[in-house]
Amino acid sequence: MERPARLCGLWALLLCAGGGGGGGGAAPTETQPPVTNLSVSVENLCTVIWTWDPPEGTSPNCTLRYFSHFDNKQDKKIAPETHRSKEVPLNERICLQVGSQCSTNESDNPSILVEKCTPPPEGDPESAVTELQCVWHNLSYMKCTWLPGRNTSPDTNYTLYYWHSSLGKILQCENIYREGQHIGCSFALTNLKDSSFEQHSVQIVVKDNAGKIRPSFNIVPLTSHVKPDPPHIKRLFFQNGNLYVQWKNPQNFYSRCLSYQVEVNNSQTETHDIFYVEEAKCQNSEFEGNLEGTICFMVPGILPDTLNTVRIRVRTNKLCYEDDRLWSNWSQAMSIGENADPTFYITMLLATPVIVAGAIIVLLLYLKRLKIIIFPPIPDPGKIFKEMFGDQNDDSLV
């Protein structure tokens, strides 16, 4: 009797353990119902907004969170909001998948993911413009350029529209022009320079008036593609064997946000030296009392008794911007020093033709004499014998 009793006790323990484990694991593996009424819309030019409603039949003890990501599980996000937006060029279809869950832990099982995509762009892909690029020049105006698509007519009339957060509506660029094969348009962009523009971007779309080509979209962050104007050189002077260069930065930029490149050309040694300057400062009394906004740099080892020509260009640095690849144009060149005395070279330049002409005249006058000296005549043997023997015959006849 003891043995069956023990077996019954073991079975009871196993059943209790199995029941307890099954009851404890049911809560985490419970799947939430999916979200409802997922929809997508486009605002401005490139702002895509997805909205949805909470799932039906959710447990009252559940604190709803929504798990979402884009194609290929990019930009995962878990948040309580029932909407999500993103600035994205609409050159291709963009899809968002959304699911619901009861915690902020990504490892928890969400509901079945519901997907919603933007409509695909209309038109032939070969008709869309190519190489659409925009540059913000001196924080004053933006210039966009592009090439026509392959399957487009040469007389296509293009239109560029742009929008940013400081505008109340979408605007059209009016200054369409052509530069060789490229087509471009520029528009003023100064409203953002005094604000936190690092959080803003400009949305661009290029299409035609007739709607025959496929629209091409672009988003330009205002922390990149910035090209400053060239600086202006104010002074050059020598002191203690060093060349001091003073210039004024382009407008709208802080000095700490720019990097510099100083080029010095020496006329005597024909050297071409370039100095990269990250922080331009000079400790010199010559610059006391100068106007605010001027920058100084000392170039060592420059000979003062030769002619030196200086140029400067600038670019944005990564302290204030994300892009540091666009250099400004070179500034106007300024020279200092003394060039070699050209009097000797001018005299030689004028005297050389005179000397050559005189030599030619002398050669022409004495050409025959020179010919005799250079090529002496060969004596005639018959004449010599005739003179010799002719004289002897005359004597014998006498």
Encode pLDDT of 125-135 as tens digits: 999 999 999 99
Is 358 in a helix, a strand, or coil? helix
Give the burial string for 343-355 (b: 16+ CB within 10 Å, else e): eeeeeeeeeeeee
Nearest to 258 by CA among 194, 193, 196, 320: 320
Q: What is the pLDDT of residue 260?
A: 93
Cα separation, 185 vs 134, whole angstroms: 9
Cα separation, 230 vs 180, whole angstroms: 25
Q: What is the pLDDT of residue 28?
A: 46
Q: What is the pLDDT of residue 224?
A: 87
Predicted TM-score (pTM) of this structure: 0.71
- Is the pLDDT at 276 greater than 80? The verdict is yes
8-state DSSP, 388: H
Side-chain half-sphere exposure of 378, counting CA atoms within 13 A: 2
8-state DSSP, 337: S
Residue predicted with more confidence, 320 or 6 = 320
The region of weakest confidence among 34-43, 202-211, 279-288 is 279-288
Give the pLDDT confidence of 32-84 residue by residue, as tens digits: 889 999 999 999 999 999 999 999 888 778 888 899 999 877 888 999 999 99
- Is the pLDDT at 19 greater than 60? The verdict is no
Q: How far apart are the first and last CA of the chain?
A: 192
- pLDDT above 70: percentage of residues in the chain: 75
Nearest to 181 by CA among 209, 149, 212, 205: 149
